[in-house]
Amino acid sequence: MNIHSHGAYLAYEERLAQRIQTTLSRSLNRNLWKRILWRLGLAVLGFVLVGSVLLEYLRYLFPRINEMPFVIFLTVTFLLCPIIVISVRHVLALLVELQMAHVELLVILGNVVAMRDQDTGEHNLRVAIMAVRLAEAAKVAPKLVWGLFMGAFLHDVGKIGVPDNILLKPGCFTDKERLEMQKHVLHGYDIVASSEWLQGAARVVRFHHEKFDGTGYPDGTGAGDIPIEARIFSIVDVFDALVSSRPYKDAMSLNQALEVMEKERGTSFDPDFLDAFLPIAGTLYDQVIESGLDQHKEMGAAIIERYSGQ
């Protein structure tokens, strides 16, 4: 029986998606409400300050002015504040819903492809977390980090378009099957590139199998022509694959994995990002590879809280 049609597996997938979604939604709401309170506070403060300055300026310009109309204007405006506040809250509530819909879409897409690929979805979350950690260590611009996180989570979404007899084949691929499998990169790009919100993710999806020396696929793009997000992602994706056990292989130790990766310096990997990765590899191994889903959810939620508004 195919594992994907097994009831227990499907139930597990559903539970996993629900748990991730619940955590993300709590985090996002907390984050946006903080922003709402900050903005409201700043709006009231700004209103008082600007009103006072204007009043003083009018007194300076027109010492004999009758202040009453202006005071009335300020008072009426202040009385309208509740309506303004309610409107702002309504707009921000819609914004929360919109962002939640985006995050839900992200989780659903990631889990759909994980189900097709005999995976629990945990790989997607692990590599997304490690990609962000590496980006932070390499001091990559924060505006790129959210796209990197989404792209890492969705990197293999194009496997949806690969036929089952190839995607789930237990043995080696023929040349024709390998080419068909490699098309998952383009399928994935077609899926995410149409979304304005997923443009950062599209750069990871499109280039995640390119290599620094230009021997990757689908185009043989190399070095600086590969977007930063994809150069970062390829390092953590290979690291996760090496130190994880699969049905066909045992997990490597941390040192074994780093030895293999060092040999790929300048061929598969950008040397600069590999230099940023090596010092944090031990920490990533302890905190991400050796930890469980609950910890991964917390780390993912913290990343969403920090970067989703960038």
From residue 119, give the alpha-carbon distance in Å to each of 3, 159, 255. 10, 12, 25
The yes or no reply on residue 117 touching Fe ion (CB under 5 A) is no
Of the candidate spans 12-20, 146-154, 156-164, 260-268, the one that interacts with Fe ion by CB under 5 A turns out to be 156-164
Of the candidate spans 27-35, 119-127, 149-157, 173-181, the one that interacts with Fe ion by CB under 5 A turns out to be 149-157
The yes or no reply on residue 270 touching Fe ion (CB under 5 A) is no
CB of 115 to Fe ion, least distance (A): 16
CB of 231 to Fe ion, least distance (A): 15
Of the candidate spans 62-70, 89-97, 103-111, 150-158, the one that interacts with Fe ion by CB under 5 A turns out to be 150-158
Choice between 156 and 240, CB closer to Fe ion: 156
Choice between 243 and 304, CB closer to Fe ion: 243
Measured CA to CA, the distance from residue 58 to residue 70 in angstroms comes to 9
CB of 188 to Fe ion, least distance (A): 8
Query: Which is it for the CA torsion 257, 147, 123, 119, positive or negative?
Result: negative
Question: What's the residue count for the chain?
Answer: 310
Say how many C-beta atoms besides its own lie within 10 A of residue 227's C-beta.
Answer: 22
CB of 31 to Fe ion, least distance (A): 30
Of the candidate spans 16-24, 68-76, 152-160, 274-282, the one that interacts with Fe ion by CB under 5 A turns out to be 152-160
Chain positions 22 to 61 lying near Fe ion, rule: CB under 5 A, are none
Strand, helix or coil at 145? helix
Q: Cα torsion for 280, 286, 291, 297, to the nearest 10°?
A: -20
**Sequence letter at residue 278:** L
**Sequence letter at residue 216:** G
Choice between 156 and 270, CB closer to Fe ion: 156
Choice between 13 and 156, CB closer to Fe ion: 156
Residue with smallest beta-carbon separation from Fe ion? 156
Choice between 137 and 156, CB closer to Fe ion: 156
CB of 207 to Fe ion, least distance (A): 11
Q: How many residues bind Fe ion (CB under 5 A)?
A: 1
> Using CB under 5 A, which of 13, 117, 119, 156 touches Fe ion?
156
Alpha-helix runs per DSSP H in 140-198: 142-154, 164-167, 175-182, 184-193
CB of 77 to Fe ion, least distance (A): 57
Residue that is written with structure tokens 């300020």 in the block: 74
Choice between 206 and 296, CB closer to Fe ion: 206
283-290: long-range contacts, CB 8 A cutoff, minimum separation 24 = 283/133, 284/130, 284/133, 284/134, 284/236, 284/239, 285/243, 285/254, 288/126, 288/129, 288/130, 288/133, 289/126, 289/240, 289/243, 289/244
**Encoded tokens for 288:** 């991400």
Choice between 156 and 210, CB closer to Fe ion: 156
**Encoded tokens for 181:** 């499998």
Q: Please give the helix or strand (H or E) that residue 2 lies within, else none.
A: none
The yes or no reply on residue 210 touching Fe ion (CB under 5 A) is no
CB of 214 to Fe ion, least distance (A): 18
From residue 251, give the alpha-carbon distance in Å to each of 104, 167, 238, 287. 31, 22, 12, 17
CB of 156 to Fe ion, least distance (A): 4
Evaluate whether 209 touches 217 at the Cβ level (below 8 Å).
Answer: yes
Contacts with Fe ion by CB under 5 A lie at 156
